[in-house]
Amino acid sequence: MHQARLTVALTFDHDALSDSVRRGDAPVKFSHGEFGPRVGVPRILELLGREEIPATWFVPGHTLATFPESIQAILAGGHELAVHGWYHEDFSLLLADEQRAILDRAVAAIRDVSGAAPRGHRAPYWALGPDTLGLVEAAGFAYDSSLMSDDYRLFRVRHGDRHSTEDGTTFGTEGRLVQVPIYWGLDDWPIFEPAPGRDGLAAPSRVLEIWEGELRYGWEHAAGGLLTITMHPECIGRGHRMAMLERFIAACRALPGVVFERLDTYVDRWMAAGGSSG
Ligand SMILES: [Zn+2]
């Protein structure tokens, strides 16, 4: 379906202040988020421009409204905007009507700024309620990027799975929504950012080893597949991590047949080829 041996998608969750506003965080936490639009995004856009890499940006509505220059710079770079909540909500804690309202508001905000409806959705924290992806599909999205049940292969999201300690598991049926799988090991945040229960602040060599391992394995074993990397400007934008991202891009370039694409581009090609995992 695709002459590329492996496609790499660099994706950025542009959370900025959204989560801190909702939580009512202290000033230092806000300042950590502000590093994203203030320092991280310009650095990332300079690198992507220099390398001629189109990328996908999942942007909460609060970031769209608060940092319009950052969003305009992303659009000017030829990148894709996709939905990531409004105040970085945890959808697993919300009622269906609340989730629907956030999705509708976020879609409208991206349409206003870009002139087109977003194609993609990623749940903040990758947190989903049992009904969330059904609501995402009903809202008209082409794809979601919040599940881990595959790695290099897209698949159609199944709705209506039932799990019971009495009756076991009954699987639901596949819908139209395409899934772009993700994983914690391919996310900058869990290894680099301190949090309760983990140290964070890992040496970038540790992350580079994981990402290069996934790259090499996909290149060898998943021809035509997609490797999706999740990053956050306030995290990857630090100098030592930007240097690592440059090394990762160089490792991709060193393998024949590796290309970089926006998620919507890859998803469209996958659907045009019949929507199978081939
Ligand atoms: Zn996020």
Q: Give the model confidence (pLDDT) of 191-235 as tens digits.
A: 999 999 988 899 999 999 999 999 999 999 999 999 999 999 999
With cut-offs at 50, 70 and 90, classify the pLDDT of residue 2.
low
CA 61, CA 14: separation in Å to the nearest integer? Answer: 10
The tokens for 116 are: 């087109």
Q: What separation in Å is there between the alpha carbon of 236 and the centre of ligand 1?
A: 13
CA 200, CA 103: separation in Å to the nearest integer? Answer: 31
Q: Does domain 6-272 have CATH number 3.20.20.370?
A: yes
Rounded average pLDDT over 263-269: 98
Q: What separation in Å is there between the alpha carbon of 109 and the centre of ligand 1?
A: 17
The tokens for 168 are: 């076991």
Rounded average pLDDT over 106-116: 98
Per-residue pLDDT tens over the stretch 133-180: 999 999 999 999 999 999 999 999 999 999 999 999 999 999 999 999
* pLDDT at residue 273 greater than cutoff 90: yes
Q: What separation in Å is there between the alpha carbon of 277 and the centre of ligand 1?
A: 27
* pLDDT at residue 89 greater than cutoff 90: yes
Q: What separation in Å is there between the alpha carbon of 195 and the centre of ligand 1?
A: 15
Q: What separation in Å is there between the alpha carbon of 83 and the centre of ligand 1?
A: 10
pTM recorded for the entire structure: 0.97
Q: What separation in Å is there between the alpha carbon of 124 and the centre of ligand 1?
A: 5
CA 90, CA 213: separation in Å to the nearest integer? Answer: 31
- Stated length of the chain: 278
Using the 8-state DSSP alphabet, how is residue 79 labeled? P
What radius of gyration, in Å, describes the C-alpha atoms of the chain?
A: 18
Q: What separation in Å is there between the alpha carbon of 230 and the centre of ligand 1?
A: 10
Q: What separation in Å is there between the alpha carbon of 64 and the centre of ligand 1?
A: 13
